[in-house]
Amino acid sequence: MKNSNKQVRIEKIVHGGFGLGRIDDGRVVLVGKVLPGEMVAFSVTEEKNRYLYAEAAAIIEPHPSRIDPPCPWYGKCGGCDIQHCDYKQQLRIKTDIVRDLYLHQFPDTRTELLTLMHDTLPSPVQFSYRQRIRLQVDANGRTGFLGFRSHTIIPIGRCLVAKDGLNVVLSELQKNSSCAKILNNCDEFELLFNPISSGVICLFHLLRKPRPADIRQAEELTGTIPLLERVYFQGVDFPLTGPFGSKEIPQTNSLQMRLSPFAEEDTPLKLSWEVGGFCQVNLQQNERLIRLVVDCCRLSRNESVLDLFCGMGNFSIPLAARAASLLGIEGQGSAIRSARKNSTDAGLANTTFEKGPIHEVCRRLVRESRVFDCVVLDPPRQGVPGLARELTALTGRKLVYISCDPATLCRDLAAFARCGFTLRYMQPVDMFPQTHHIETVVLLEKN
């Protein structure tokens, strides 16, 4: 169904980045790439029983913060979706999204939320912040990102939110004959910025196991592209393989970042993670996020910490330096290896890291009657459904929740409230400028 004859006033931007309006028959229309208060003519792209998805055919009354998006692929590429407004407005939108979702769950808390919730913490940089990008490869060997709400690959030559070094290497790869040969047997690849060296690492996802010709081509790539340090291969039926390149490349599968001291008496920390493993893509904002979590936990030297979804120790290592003991739980083996290494490198003797499914481990810890002064959790987008009772039993006093999805966060907060937790602090954090995605840190205390 396509119809661009109707107009709608946009009330607000909702979770997912869509502008919400209401048409005469009472249905909600969700329009992409619009701003609050704008009057827009729209074309329906998808029709549901109670709402419509639409795209803006024309902006009749634009918002004062509307700007021309700087990216030539904006609107086609499925990555950024709020480049059409200035950065101050982006931050206001994110604050409003988190507030609206929370008030939907807790409608009687509007007054207290004014003091408990803070405006979204800006990112130090709004472009060139991503230290990792993943590109798709089509049947013709062209590389790009998936289109908005589609599986169509949009060829791109430069990503404005990626580190400059990633774009330099991407440009070189796209015109390199050795890369073209590898891409013939590849469905996607990743470019990773190495914070220590400012070089770039490439990880090709092959459709079959690498062959000698692939390795020769990888070596040619590192020999001809100055910023490209290492090349790896990975696939569904084989593990990470490499590094390949010149003899001068570091013989390690890790990347590393440095954290500035958190206090005068602290020493700088180094955190490493394996190629293919997880690390926050906005490294500058990640350091501010870590400091925020450390401040929320307010640990004393005699307190114990449980860090769930601990990854490579992004929060664990700084927290353990302030606590009596820390237990970190994570489901990914490579992340646990990195967390243990990071703990050893930091000279810590008070940490334990275990690999296992979070729900199962929490149930076991409850059976063992374990209680921790502070519980920290940083789950994926689905949050922690069905885990509120176990976390209540495990938490002695404080629970700090780092969320990458405000909708599942607010659902989980309702479950925690039923178990006797009270919200003490809420801070949205802009980890992903130019997109609707929001990180949020909340502090809960047991009544």
Give the residue numbers annotated as catalytic, written as ranges: 404
User: What length does the chain have?
Assistant: 447
**Helices (DSSP H) in 118-254: which residue ranges?**
164-174, 177-183, 212-224
Please, what's the largest Cα pairwise distance for the chain?
68
Asked if 170 and 210 count as a contact pair (C-beta separation under 8 A), the reply is no
For the chain, report the end-to-end CA distance as a whole number of angstroms.
52
* Own/partner pairs, 27-33, CB within 8 angstroms, 24+ separation: 27/51, 27/52, 28/52, 29/53, 29/54, 30/54, 31/55, 31/56, 32/56, 32/81, 32/148, 33/75, 33/81, 33/84
**Helices (DSSP H) in 160-270: which residue ranges?**
164-174, 177-183, 212-224
Of the candidates 166, 164, 161, 172, which has an alpha carbon nearest to the alpha carbon of residue 200?
166
CA–CA separation, 372 vs 393, rounded Å? 9
Residue 340's Cβ-count burial label (10 Å; 0-12, 13-18, 19+) is: middle
Q: At 32, list the tokens.
A: 């992409």
Helix and strand counts by DSSP (H, E) for the chain:
11, 22
